[in-house]
Amino acid sequence: MAVTGVLRPGHVALRVLELEPAVKHYRDVLGLEEVTRDDKGRVFFKAWDEHDHHSVVLREADEAGMDYMGWKVDSPATLKKLAGDVEQSGLCTDLSWIPAGEHPATGERFRFTIPTGHVMELFAEKGIVGNNCGTDGENTNPNPWPDGMKGIAPSRFDHCLLYGDDLDGTVKLFTEVLGFGLAEQVMAGEDKSFMIGAFLSCSNKAHDVAFIRQPVKGKFHHASFELRSWEQVLRAGDILSRTKTSIDIGPTRHGITRGETIYFFDPSGNRNEVFSGGYIYYPDKPTITWWDVELGPAIFYHDRKLNEAFLSVFT
Amino acid sequence: MHFVVTIDNTGETFRCSDESNVLQGMEQLQRKGIPVGCRNGGCGVCKVQVTEGLYTKRKMSRGVISVDEEASGCVLACKIYPQSNLRVEVVGKMARAVLAQKSMSFDFGFATATVINQPDEEK
């Protein structure tokens, strides 16, 4: 089955306490390209191998955390259909249309708040700026990677992990309305029937978004960016130490998704991840189940125990 | 210039430069006592009540420190710089873990975590 409907995470909009230190982090340490700034003071970035205009948006605010996450869908017709489906589901609140151009080079976006309190958007159109690899025009006779990369330089914005209370409602929305598959779940309780974690895929990736049940609304655990090898994750660790960036944990491996990872913080305390690996997900792949008693190795496969920060530190 | 920071909950003390934030000063000396989270003013894990002393501060997230809290000396250890000796009481959402760590009986099931994690700032 081809990837249709919701294609991928298209952008994440984060609030930062001070703009310029944040720009320095996302541009020079994480190594995203600054694409543009707008008259509201927002800064737009993309990772080197993303063709779309931007995937990370920063704005200065008094509170750290995530404003919203946007999903690219395959066509304007799908956007209209899914907007109708979300409305009909009755699962979401604060439904609205954001006009084209509110994000630079971006078509209209359908915005809604999901049961865990996070604001999500769907959009169909975003300008293509390319990955600067072509040698005879964009996408013609390309090199494998472009010149001039800075910092860790992940290839793309990959997924978010989010914390919220109504996990059941959010999982129902993503699986039954938006067409995601449940790649992995963490189950608690005596008969293992109470879901505390859900890892959801709209593509061939092990996850495009994940949620963990916590007694909060709309909280942000991390935004993750993709690297292509374990060695690049180790190199990321070197860069984070060289730049005295606050590291949370790693390099290590996740049991869930099998990804190799390092967690660190932007200058406002928003957690970032760079990771590599994982498996190929297909819609007919059986869901992987983890029991709560195995949550340690599920999250950090080598330490085999959860550190306090995993559940307590979020914005 | 260095000052002495005392953690009321445990009686621990450490020296901290006026150029380091209190959390950084603690971590540089491999000391524990104040829980360490993002280190950057966003998560609220290192929230302390300053009970004595002077400090300067940098911007901290309103999601974890209200205007009133900040005015009353309830601040993030990662965002305050000592200007005199300081006494602080750990009040962040992992405060319970400070005492648990001290007795070396720290147990971390998901259920416990959920309780520890009740965000007191979101009453």
Q: Which residue of chain B has the CA closest to A189?
A: B111
> What letters, b where the CB count within 10 A reaches 16 and e where it falls short, cover A13-30?
bbbbbebeebbebbbebb
Q: Round to whole Å and give the CA distance between B76 and B92.
A: 9
What does pTM read for this prediction?
A: 0.92
Q: Do B117 and A268 touch (CB under 8 A)?
A: no
Please say if A207 is a catalytic residue: yes
Q: Do B108 and A64 touch (CB under 8 A)?
A: no
What pLDDT does A2 receive?
84
What pLDDT does A49 receive?
98
What pLDDT does B108 receive?
37
pLDDT at B53 over 80: yes
Q: Do B113 and A306 touch (CB under 8 A)?
A: yes
Q: Do B114 and A215 touch (CB under 8 A)?
A: yes
Q: Cβ of B122 under 8 Å from any chain A Cβ?
A: yes
What pLDDT does B92 receive?
76
- DSSP-assigned states of every residue in A72-121: EES-HHHHHHHHHHHHHHT--EEEEEEPTTSSTTB--EEEEE-TTS-EEE
Of the pLDDT bands very low, low, confident and very high (cuts 50, 70, 90), residue B97 is low
What pLDDT does A14 receive?
98
pLDDT at A63 over 50: yes
Instruction: Tokens for A243, please give them.
Output: 């730049």
Q: Do A309 and B45 touch (CB under 8 A)?
A: yes
Residue A98, burial from CB neighbour count under 10 angstroms (0-12, 13-18, 19+): middle
Give the ranges where chain B is alpha helix by DSSP (H). Answer: 22-28, 67-71, 95-102, 110-116
pLDDT at A78 over 80: yes
Contacts of A136 (CB under 8 A, 6+ apart): none
DSSP, res A26: I
What pLDDT does B98 receive?
53
Express each pLDDT in A101-149 by its tens digit. Answer: 999 999 999 999 999 999 999 999 999 999 999 999 999 999 999 999 9
Match 């290192």 to its residue by tokens: B46
Q: Do B114 and A214 touch (CB under 8 A)?
A: yes
Match 């999250």 to its residue by tokens: A299
Express each pLDDT in A264-291 by its tens digit. Answer: 999 999 999 999 999 999 999 999 999 9
Q: Which residue of chain B has the CA closest to A63?
A: B61
What pLDDT does B99 receive?
52
Closest to A72 measured CA to CA, from A2, A127, A132, A129: A127
Please tell me whether residue A24 adopts helix, strand or coil conformation. helix
- Backbone torsion region of residue A232, taken as left when φ is above 0, otherwise alpha when ψ lies between -120 and 50, otherwise beta: alpha
Q: Which residue of chain A has the CA closest to B63?
A: A63
Nearest to B62 among A63, A266, A270 (CB): A63
Share of chain A above pLDDT 70, in %: 100
Instruction: Tokens for B54, please give them.
Output: 């002077």
Q: Which of A53, A54, A207, A221 is catalytic?
A: A207
**In this structure, how many other beta carbons lie within 10 angstroms of the beta carbon of residue A159?**
29
Q: Are the beta carbons of B55 and B81 closer than 8 angstroms?
A: yes
Q: How far is CA A96 from the centre of its chain?
A: 22
pLDDT at A292 over 90: yes
CA distance B84 to chain A (A): 26
**Looking at the DSSP assignment, which residues form a beta bridge with residue A8?**
A72
pLDDT at B114 over 70: no
Segment A186-212 mean pLDDT: 97
Q: How far is CA B75 from the centre of its chain?
A: 8
Q: Which residue of chain B has the CA closest to A165?
A: B114
Q: Do B37 and A271 touch (CB under 8 A)?
A: no
Q: Round to whole Å and give the CA distance between A12 and A230.
A: 25
Express each pLDDT in A203-247 by its tens digit. Answer: 999 999 999 999 999 999 999 999 999 999 999 999 999 999 999
Q: Cβ of B123 under 8 Å from any chain A Cβ?
A: no
Which residues of chain A are within 8 Å of residue B36 when distances are taken between CB atoms?
Answer: 309
Closest to A277 measured CA to CA, from A215, A233, A229: A229
Express each pLDDT in B14-41 by its tens digit. Answer: 999 999 999 999 999 999 899 999 999 9
pLDDT at B48 over 70: yes
How distant, in Å, are the alpha carbons of A35, A237, A246 from that of A152? 17, 9, 15
How distant, in Å, are the alpha carbons of A41, A114, A279 from that of A117? 26, 5, 29
Of the pLDDT bands very low, low, confident and very high (cuts 50, 70, 90), residue B96 is low
Express each pLDDT in A11-28 by its tens digit. Answer: 999 999 999 999 999 999
Q: Round to whole Å and give the CA distance between A53 and A124.
A: 13
**Looking at the DSSP assignment, which residues form a beta bridge with residue A106?**
A126
Please say if A25 is a catalytic residue: no
pLDDT at B121 over 70: no
pLDDT at B112 over 80: no
- As a whole number, the mean pLDDT across chain B is 83
Side-chain half-sphere exposure of B25, counting CA atoms within 13 A: 25
Please give the torsion angle defined by the CA atoms of residues A254, A1, A7 and A22, in that order, rounded to the nearest 10 degrees: 20
Q: Cβ of B91 under 8 Å from any chain A Cβ?
A: no
